[in-house]
Every structure is written in structure tokens, then in C-alpha cells.
Structure 1
Amino acid sequence: MIARRKTAMPDKITMINLVWSAMVALMLTATVTLYQEKSSVGDIEYPQMTGRYQQFSYY
């Protein structure tokens, strides 16, 4: 006959998947939270960088 596995103790793969999913959810939540705080600062003007390049001759 087929041996039955214990269902009370999850196996290693299930535990790894749960921990991995929790970490991804936590990182996503932290990223969204940090970007929301960053976008709320609207009254500070930052200088804009340009793509101009000047080449000087050193000879």
C-alpha cells in the first residue's frame, strides 16, 4: 500500500516557499511605502541635469 505522509508538519519545500513569499511581499511593501514618501515632497525644486558634454583639449 501507499504510505501516508503526515499533514501536520509541512515539508521543506512548502516552508521555503512560504518564507520566500513573505520576504517578497515585505520588500514590495517597503518599496511602495518608500516611494510614496518620496513623491509627497513636491515643493523642493531640484536642478535638472542636462546631457551636454564639452570636450576640452589639454594639448
Structure 2
Amino acid sequence: MIERRKSIVPDKITMINLVWTTMIAAMLTATVTLYQEQSQMSDFNYPQMTGRYNDLSYY
């Protein structure tokens, strides 16, 4: 029977999953932090900027 040795270094799939999970957690934390800062800025009551889009035909 072939015996499989335990490796100290995690395999490639485990490392990819760990990096992916860390990136998602960091982005979620950054998003929540930015939205909390934005809600505190709404106390100043700045006027909302609006824009218009005109679809012009070139033919």
C-alpha cells in the first residue's frame, strides 16, 4: 500500500481558497467602512448633483 506523507506546506487549492477568502473579507470590510463614513457625511446636506444624457443620432 502506498502511504501518503503529510506535508507541512498546504496544497495549492487550500492556499488559493485562503487568499480568496482573505480578499473577500478585506473588500467587505472596506465597503462597510466607506458606507459608514458616507452616512456621517450626510449631516452636511450637500445638494445632490444630477446629470442629463442626450442621445443624439449621427445619421
Partner residue, 1:38: 38
- Cα RMSD, aligned residues only: 1.9
Range 2-11 or range 16-25, more displaced: 2-11
Long gaps (5+) in structure 1: 50-59
* Distance in 2 between residues matched to 1:17 and 1:10, nearest whole Å: 11
1:26 CA displacement: 0.3
Structure 2 counterpart of 1:39, one-letter code: S
**Higher helix fraction (1 or 2):** 2
* Distance in 2 between residues matched to 1:37 and 1:5, nearest whole Å: 50
**Normalising by structure 1, what TM-score?**
0.68
Q: CA offsets, 1:26-55, max 9 Å, x none? A: 000000000000001132224458xxxxxx
* Distance in 1 between residues matched to 2:16 and 2:48, nearest whole Å: 45
**Normalising by structure 2, what TM-score?**
0.68
Q: How does 1:16-31 map to 2 (within 5 A)?
A: 16-31=16-31
How many residues align? The count is: 50
Rg larger in structure: 1
Runs of 4+ in 1 over 4 A off after TM superposition: none
